[in-house]
Structure 1
Amino acid sequence: MNKNNKKYFIALTGAKKNVGDFLITGRAIELLEHIAPEYEYVLHPHWEKIEDIEFINNSEGIIILGGPGFQMNMYPGVYKLTDSLRDIKVPIHTLGTGWKGVPGDKTTERLYHFTNSAQQMLDTMNDTTAGMSCRDYQTKRALINNGYNNVTMTGCPVWYDIESLGKKFTAPKEIKRVVYTPAQDETFSEQSIEVLGFLINKYKNAEIIVSFHRGIGVVDEFTPKSDAENTKKLADKAEKMGAKVVDVSYNRAKLDFYDDCDLHVGYRVHAHIYFLSKRMPSILLHEDGRGNGVSEALESPGVNAYKLSRLYSNIFRIFNKNKGVLSIYRKFAFKVNGNINNDMERIINNIENTNYQVFDKVSRHIDKQYHVMEDFIKKITKKNVGW
């Protein structure tokens, strides 16, 4: 509940265990309070229903804080909200929310299809004055393909570290500390070990720190046994290979040591964005459309951890908006990239040979896009838009 009798928004957070979700929530609230400090932002877990309808309807609206929330079953599969959306009389907004397209190519965009209940929620948000904010162009295209045109590509809230806005990127003189984030998906487990070996060999004189965003080896309410076993295996292997292992789950402050590192390489999207937002270099390995989306939107360095059959991609591209066909497409077209280290060598050599110039471009892109995010927040908080 709001504490100071201020007008308030209900801010839906996805922060459970993954430190990336805590980072999204923190950066989103910092943006909102920076741009529209006259409101209070009351956090509520998006996976829990909001039982008090009066609390909802006395608010200025609901704001979904980032995350891959534009999933095909987003309501009520991701956002519980209430049993009936008709009970909600205030606007529902997204703030830099993304899709979860797997594998994440143009064919996935075409086949991406929302359930009927998800469409009810999307219809509600599409009809607001501000519309929806998304974090990348793939998400925007998937929404438009499903008939939702009132969409602004603002970028993810984590793009915007307020203290870093306007700062120039400075290329590292030497790589002394590398953060490596392995894949969460067990499909890429062996590949994650292979990439770690590549980095240890590539940066022989650097400290390699393997960072686990969702914990290591612990089964809990947010982590199934198979996931815990996989992270434990990866951590044990990393230590045997001579890397340092850290668990950064549950607490955004655990990421502070990233500021003293020189480079991030890995699969975790929000480790990648954290580094870029701080004007530090990062290379992202794409597990799916979440990774592809950010690399396209920021024009930042990335490598696909998967390979797709061009034949199947061309065949399945004739279909449109079909969840069942998408499932079949994943099964037949998707495989793990067996040449990942060659791809990594090529992209790192290019970055080094151009003295990291691509990251100066990324920094300028973030600064430019910040004004789009700022304007969107002003719209949803009714600032200077003719309300």
Structure 2
Amino acid sequence: MADIVLTTYPAERSRNVGDALITHSMIELVRARVPAFEPVVMFRETPLDELPRETRHRVFAPGFSVANGTYPALFPLFTDLDRMERFWPVGCSFQANLPERASFETPYGKDTLAFLKRMAERFGPFPCRDQLIVDRLERSGVPAFYLGDLALFDEKRIGTALRVPPPVGTLVITLQHHVRYLEQIVDLAKRVRARYPEWRRLVSMHAVPNPMNRVLAARMAELGYELLEVHGEVAKLDLYETVDLHVGYRLHGHLHFLRNRKPSILMVEDARSYGFSRTQGTAFGCVDAWSQESREPDDTAPERALALLDEQMASGFSGYAPLLAFIDRTHAERVSPWFDAVAEVLNG
């Protein structure tokens, strides 16, 4: 028997550290229960047909995409799906550019729907990272349930208190994915500088710089921001250890701070963040960067984000207590039992 982990981390392309964090989190959750767990990690686009036929394979897919065409376009898996002894998609994701409910309502094609139903019938309901993904699957007749994004759960931190920032500390802004927010993020950076002039201010890249990132990095430097490049393996996120507060666009920047019990404000720029912001329990700290009315970036978003931050500073960041309690409860009621069940199979 061989264990395979299909990572969404594109080591040869963007080196998006958020994908590395998803895979790292899943492996750590398994190893906490099965210390000898040493899977073969492969990129999700790798066809598995060349693996030895005489070996049965158990396949883990952290952050498995339940978008149209997921199999075989995004995850080739095996041509003969029966070669999988077990298939564990977990923290299932969905991607779309626009942060709106309509993004989650596009119907599945018949081939994708047949694949999803077949996998659910054989291996059980899909554990999803936000409630809108659960709703999308269930409307299509595919069993699913909410588990949360794996990046939220560091079992060494579960149950611990919020690490409240000092009166003057260090703040990081994470850069967005989409060029449409170019003017908005510069406005946000200017407002942060004016609002908190004594704070140390950083700007962070979660992926290998593209032309937009380079333009923004130069503009941020002009505004007095120091640059952090955290793209790459998950160890790069250690650069955040001395950072007290996050305000920005990267969903997994937001989740990394929450998992480490630090406050964060997420600018909701696409469907990934939208689903998180519309899940009961994880909505706090999310600010819509996109206007549903004008269908353009919302000019009021930076000021709304900083008004929320001001309010939380005044209250000792009290608004994060229910959010952390929800993460702890989700871990106790959903995450830990799911991984306990996986461990029983691996130890069997």
TM-score normalised to the size of structure 1?
0.82
1:136 aligns with 2:130: yes
Please give the per-residue CA displacement for 1:204-263, whole angstroms capped at 9, x wherever unaligned. 1111110000122xxxxxxxxxxx211110111111111001221112222112121110
Write the distance in 1 (CA, Å) between the matches of 2:33 and 2:84.
Answer: 25
CA RMSD, Structure 1 to Structure 2 (Å): 2.3
CA distance in structure 1 between the partners assigned to 2:205 and 2:80 by the alignment: 37
Identity within the alignment, %: 22
Cα distance between partner residues in 1 of 2:198 and 2:60: 46
Q: What letter corresponds to residue 336 of structure 2 in structure 1?
A: E
SS in 2 for 1:71: coil
1:335 aligns with 2:317: no
Residue from 239, 255, 260 that aligns with 1:278: 260
Q: Within the alignment, does 1:379 sit opposite 2:328 as a pair?
A: no
Does 2:145 correspond to 1:165? no
2:83 corresponds in structure 1 to 88
Separation of aligned partners in 2, 1:284 and 1:86: 38
Task: Tell me the residue number matched to 1:78.
Answer: 74
C-alpha contact 1:208 1:244 (8 A) present in aligned 2: yes
Compute the displacement of 1:38 (Å).
Answer: 5.2
Q: Distance in 2 between matches of 1:359 and 1:131?
A: 30
Equivalent position amino acid for 1:98 in 2: S
Which of 3, 13, 21 is the equivalent residue of 1:23? 21
Gaps of 5+ in 2: none
Change (3 A) 1:8 1:378: farther
Distance 1:255 1:241, change over 3 A: same
Greater Cα offset, 41-50 or 94-103 = 94-103
Q: 1:200 aligns with which of 174, 193, 197?
A: 193
Report the Cα distance in structure 2 between the residues aligned to 1:129 and 1:187, rounded to whole angstroms: 40
Q: Where does residue 114 of structure 2 map in the other structure? A: 120
Q: 1:191 offset after TM fit, Å?
A: 1.4
Please say if 1:63 is aligned against 2:60.
yes
- The SS at the match of 1:379 is helix
Q: Does 1:155 align with 2:148?
A: yes
Farther off after superposition, 353-362 or 9-18: 353-362
TM-aligned CA distance change 1:80 to 1:237, over 3 Å: same
Whose helix fraction is larger, Structure 1's or Structure 2's? 1
Equivalent position of 1:364 in the other structure? 325
The one-letter code sitting in structure 1 at the alignment partner of 2:196 is Y
CA distance in 2, matches of 1:200, 1:213: 22
Relative distance call for 1:89 and 1:24 in structure 2 (3 A) is: closer
Distance 2:84 2:165 in 1: 51
Separation in structure 2 between the aligned mates of residue 56 and residue 286 of structure 1, nearest angstrom: 47
Measured in 2, the distance between the counterparts of 1:15 and 1:346 equals 35
- Residue among 179, 192, 196 paired with 2:172: 179
Instruction: Please tell me the residue identity of whatever aligns with 1:153.
Output: Y
Work out whether residues 147 and 330 of structure 2, in 8 Å CA contact, stay in contact via their aligned partners in 1: yes
Say whether the 8 Å CA contact 1:276–1:359 is kept in structure 2. no
Separation in structure 1 between the aligned mates of residue 200 and residue 167 of structure 2, nearest angstrom? 12
Secondary structure at 2:32 match in 1: helix
Number of aligned residues: 341
State how far apart, in whole Å, the 2-side matches of 1:86 and 1:24 are. Answer: 24
Matches of 1:201 and 1:128, distance apart in 2: 56
- Which residue matches 1:46? 44
Q: Distance in 2 between matches of 1:213 and 1:306?
A: 21
Q: Secondary structure at the match of 2:284?
A: coil
User: What is the distance in 2 between the residues matched to 1:24 and 1:248?
Assistant: 15
Mean Cα deviation higher: 269-278 or 32-41: 32-41
